[in-house]
Amino acid sequence: MSEDPNRAEILGWLDDERDAIIDFLKRFLRARSPNPPGDTLAAAQVVRDYLDGAGLDYRIIDPHPEMPNIVAAFDGGKDGRHLVLNGHIDVFPVPEDHHGWTTDPWGGEEKDGKIYGRGACDMKPGTTASIVTYALLHRLRERLHGRLTLTCVSDEETFGPWGARYLMEHHPEVHGDCLLNGEPGGPESVRFGERGPLWIEFTARTPGAHGAYVHISESATKIAMTVARDLEELTELEGAPPHNVASAIDAGRGAMDRMMGEGAGDLVSRVTLNIGTIEGGEKVNMVPSECRFRADLRLPVGMEREELLSKVEEIAARHPGVEWEVIGGALPSWCDPHHEMVGIIQANVEAFGRPRPTPIVSLGGTDARLWRHAGVPAYVYGPFPHGMGSHDEHVDIEEFLHVVRTHVLSAYDYLSRPAAEA
């Protein structure tokens, strides 16, 4: 692969522009874009400034004025396939008192070879990889086959309607033939599928009473706690994926443990439960009359949503008066674990002297599922999830640069081949 003069030129650009790429990520992190509330205008402007500086055309598609999506595309000099790059610019929120953080979560601080900040793994490094890939390959566009599209989207963190989902529903020109995404998961894995999140809100109501008169009324909080306990029964359920997917899941369990922590490989085939929020009661000496909590369930590949909802209904029915409703979610998704793009990524990673990444199914959700649901193979290769959704979120600089390099060269390899050769 090193004999290809185009690849050598790309690697030269990446070396020459190393500091500029790192500086871009820091500026990207300093542009606050927590969702909720979802205002990504400042972060989107950082991306726009980069594209403007590179002389690249793009469109702003903003069905929500505070959540713009940036879309750009170019055609190669020869016929071929359509590759789409996707990353999001919104991030998880941070507690107002920055609890647990030892650095400024909006500072983009570099320390001990790492860059810290909210979004430092999820997923501004991956989105940066998409942006740099697009910019560098644009310089080689006459030598490429097919089409390359860049989608930098808002509203990913809350499954909202204003980001990638809006593009997929209203702009079919972004569907493509294959998708490459840089969400965090670990550089020893390539994700070809993911479990399906299902968010449900439960509400318990009672008459309520004075806190000393517990004989007058049941406690809504106690009822809610009992429901939450009973929901743990769902975690014994497993999916039944197709054989080729099941075998890939089994082969990837060890890599999942290394990338996402011990036990991740066991969880991927089962339903998981997280009680994300709970609200109840007005005062410590009152029997609560209402309690509401939200559960985040994850469906494994090979499980239908209706199957899980029927079990939820059975559990809720044990507790008269408890109401529940689905407030968000998505179906599990997967594509071919042996697709050409997987092999391309693996070959590039090995060429850089790193372990061959293993195809796995993700525990968490990404926008890649939207392309899979549309029948487009979609693959995720990104950094370790250090501090994702927690405090001191960070990315190792060399690992970040490795992800960028892998994305650029993998996209180049895919677009270097006529469709007939695929």
Q: Residue 420's pLDDT is what?
A: 63
Residues 347, 285 share a domain:
no
Residues 181, 158 share a domain:
yes
> Closest Cα partner for 27 from 91, 130, 106?
106
For 155-192, the pLDDT digits (tens) are 998 877 999 999 999 999 999 999 999 999 999 999 99
Length of the chain (residues): 422
Q: Partners of 394 in the beta sheet?
A: 116
> How high does pLDDT run on average in the chain?
95
Answer whether residue 253 is part of any domain: no
- Domain-ending residue, one of 329, 349, 373: 329
Sign of CA dihedral 261, 160, 164, 14: negative
For 321-355, the pLDDT digits (tens) are 899 999 998 899 999 999 999 999 999 999 999 99
Answer whether residue 362 is part of any domain: yes
Residues 187, 66 share a domain:
yes
Residue 332 burial (CB count, 10 A): 25
Q: Residue 1's pLDDT is what?
A: 44
Q: Residue 22's pLDDT is what?
A: 98
Residues 236, 135 share a domain:
no
Q: Residue 321's pLDDT is what?
A: 87
Residues 186, 288 share a domain:
no
Residues 158, 132 share a domain:
yes
Residues of the chain with pLDDT under 50: 1-2
Answer whether residue 183 is part of any domain: yes
Judge whether 363 and 268 are in contact, CB under 8 Å. yes
For 279-288, the pLDDT digits (tens) are 999 999 999 9
Answer whether residue 59 is part of any domain: yes
Helix (H) or strand (E) holding 170: helix 164-170
Q: Residue 259's pLDDT is what?
A: 82
Residues 410, 389 share a domain:
yes
Number of domains within the chain: 2
Q: CATH code at 316?
A: 3.30.70.360
Answer whether residue 256 is part of any domain: no
- Report the C-alpha gap between 283 and 210 in whole angstroms: 10
Answer whether residue 206 is part of any domain: yes
Range of the domain at 124: 5-194+332-421
Answer whether residue 255 is part of any domain: no
Angle at 261 between CA 232 and CA 372, to 5 degrees: 75
Residues 157, 53 share a domain:
yes
Q: Residue 421's pLDDT is what?
A: 61
34 prior amide bond cis, ω within 30:
no
